[in-house]
Amino acid sequence: MMILAMAQITKTTPAPCETSTIIEANFPDVVLITGANSQLAQALLRVAAEVGYLFSNTGIPFKLCALNRSQLDITNAANIAAVFSQYRPNWVINCAAYNAVDAAENDIVKAHRVNALGPELLAQQCLQSGARLLHVSSDYVFGGNAAHDIDHNAENVSEGVIDPAAKPHYLASPCVELDHPKPLSEYAKSKLLGEQKVFAVFGDRATVVRTSWLYGQDGHNFVKTMLKLMQTQPSLQVIDDQIGCPTWSDALARVMWQLVAAQCSGLFHYSAKGQCSWHEFAVEIQQQALVLNLLNQPVVILPISSTAYAKQALTRGVNVAKRPSYSVLNSDKLQFTLATHARHSMFDNIEWQDWRQQLNQMLRQLS
């Protein structure tokens, strides 16, 4: 648990907003973060001291408490009630999640308990106590559509070989909040259900942020996995027909603190700018890591289709869950809302940078 000092602040009430709901309220006295060991919770804690000015000129004006699963089990209503009674939070940021996408296919009950029941129980307790809830969801609630689908030659895809003449193409039409979700996996279904449960309890007072391809200095994520493999393997195969956008956890954390400071409600999308495939992401990781001396020498990074990758995984006894062919998120609504209603803009605007720029800042911290 981490607790930061509390200071007195002056109440401010943002003007009404067409794209989100602004709740008239004092800034929080206590912010409770669930899933304290997650990479996002760690980013929220790390960034908090840097963004205190969003709330006050004298530093962070509230107590910040982060609890891990042993301290707060979000699937246990009695445990939640006891924690709320002890800490009396004004805001709860839910970073607790079941994120094992492939494992969820065979662990449906647990995935739905953590990703759907947990947010519902938190929302019910928040409603009862008068606290606000910020819940985090995923781009995987989308499955891609006809305009976004990858167009490979079927024979080449089945063999895992990408013909340059049949290179994937996709239209630049990122998903907006009004787009109809189409979850393809049990993980995605559980995340969508979690959103729906939160809104069912809170209505327009709920705050939900969908994000994509999250990585950071903490926990397990694609960037850290790639760096490790690039140090030990002569070559890698990385999927080339899933298009999304990598997002740095520290940038997401800054956005989330702005939402709390501005007292905003609604459904929002957030990712870095731009889009890429996992293969393009891996190539960029290697190029930047070599420049920063995080790697000694390059390795061969080969593209592979999702179909071929899944077939290879089956030979190892791994059932790969279906993932969206295109799940790039449009963050315009969130950017407009924060630009209109935030008390202060972020000092360096890293949250609105291209994904390559965010990656560079994260890797520089590692170096």
Give the phi and the psi of residue 196 in degrees, each rounded to 5. Answer: -65, -40
Structural contact between residues 81 and 129, judged by C-beta atoms closer than 8 angstroms: no
Tokens encoding 169: 């193409």
Q: Which of 331, 200, 266 is nearest to 20 (CA)?
A: 266
Q: How many angstroms separate the CA atoms of 111 and 113, rounded?
A: 6
Nearest to 93 by CA among 146, 135, 126: 135
Q: Which helix (H) or strand (E) holds 235?
A: strand 235-239
CA 278 to chain centre: 16
Is 190 in contact with 112 (CB distance < 8 Å)?
Answer: yes
- Decide if 187 is catalytic: yes
Are the C-beta atoms of 168 and 322 separated by less than 8 Å?
no
Of these residues, 187, 215, 309, 326, which one is catalytic? Answer: 187
111-122 CB burial, b ≥16 within 10 A, e <16: bbbbbbbbbbbb
Phi, psi of 319 (to 5 degrees): -95, 110
Q: Which two tokens stand for residue 185?
A: 């996996």
Q: In the structure encoding, which two tokens stand for residue 213, read together?
A: 């391809």
Helix, coil or strand: residue 190: helix
| Complete DSSP assignment for 90-157 | SEEEE------TTGGGT-HHHHHIIIIIHHHHHHHHHHHHT-EEEEEEEGGG----TTT-----HHHH
Return the amino acid letter for 119.
Answer: P
State the alpha helices, DSSP H only, in the chain.
39-48, 77-87, 108-112, 118-129, 154-159, 186-202, 222-232, 249-262, 278-291, 306-315, 332-341, 355-366
Q: Cα-flanking dihedrals φ and ψ of residue 213, to 5°?
A: 45, 55
Say how many residues make up the chain.
367
Query: Which residues are known catalytic residues?
Result: 187
